[in-house]
Structure 1
């Protein structure tokens, strides 16, 4: 389990950059031309990839399937995005975000079910 902390931390950092690349221009460049927003996003996305690629390679070497990696990524995305949305964009929290998170936890269970049941 300790071997998993490193790639999971890489995924969290990657998601911070991804969220900023996808949505940061709405906060910081909302009056800028769209080409500047695209350039802003692509430059930040380069940093995202610098963390995402090694994380996925590590998890793949640990025997994770693509489905397991993707579902884990989605859970981390929600864990990063909701605080980003609440703090930076001052969006109200909705109980629906909690329900969405519970659905993702169900997805985690199903993609890891064979490992959970055999442990």
Structure 2
């Protein structure tokens, strides 16, 4: 049986991806259930956020051995936008417009400057 190992440089990104999926549901998943009392939504969101932290904290701990804090935060922001874009479209039924794509392109340009060796 072949062995499958995630490269160390990819592990923090994979963990941040998992983290952001949970956090997006914690923050925005309840928007489809506006009839549910707010206190219930807050408690459920806290539970989901706990799972998110179980991915985010190791992502930053492991990632700090490879990436600078600024690079980790940049990765996290890009992953957040990717996850939210898919979530917004697939779960909330929102459309992705041209101005969203332009804004995302500017964030990717910012990432270039964060990661470029000067």
Q: TM-score, with normalisation over the residues of structure 2?
A: 0.90
Match of 1:9 among 11, 14, 17: 14
Q: Deviations over 1:64-119 (max 9, x none)?
A: 222111111010001111010001111122011211211111111111112xx5xx
Offset of residue 2 of structure 1: 2.7
Q: Which residue of 1 aligns with 2:3?
A: none
Does residue 1:53 correspond to 2:57, yes or no?
A: yes
Instruction: Identify, as 1 or 2, the structure richer in helix.
Output: 1
Residues matched between the structures, number: 113
CA distance in 1, matches of 2:74, 2:11: 17
**Residue 42 (structure 1) aligned with residue 46 (structure 2):** yes
Taking only aligned residues, the RMSD between alpha carbons, in angstroms, comes to 1.4
Contact 1:25 1:40 (8 Å CA) reproduced: no
Unaligned runs of 5+ in 1: none
Q: Kindly report structure 1 stretches of 4+ aligned residues shifted beyond 6 Å.
A: none
The aligned residue for residue 19 of structure 1 is 24
Describe how 1:83-94 pairs up with structure 2 within 5 A: 83-94=86-97
1:109 aligns to what?
A: 112
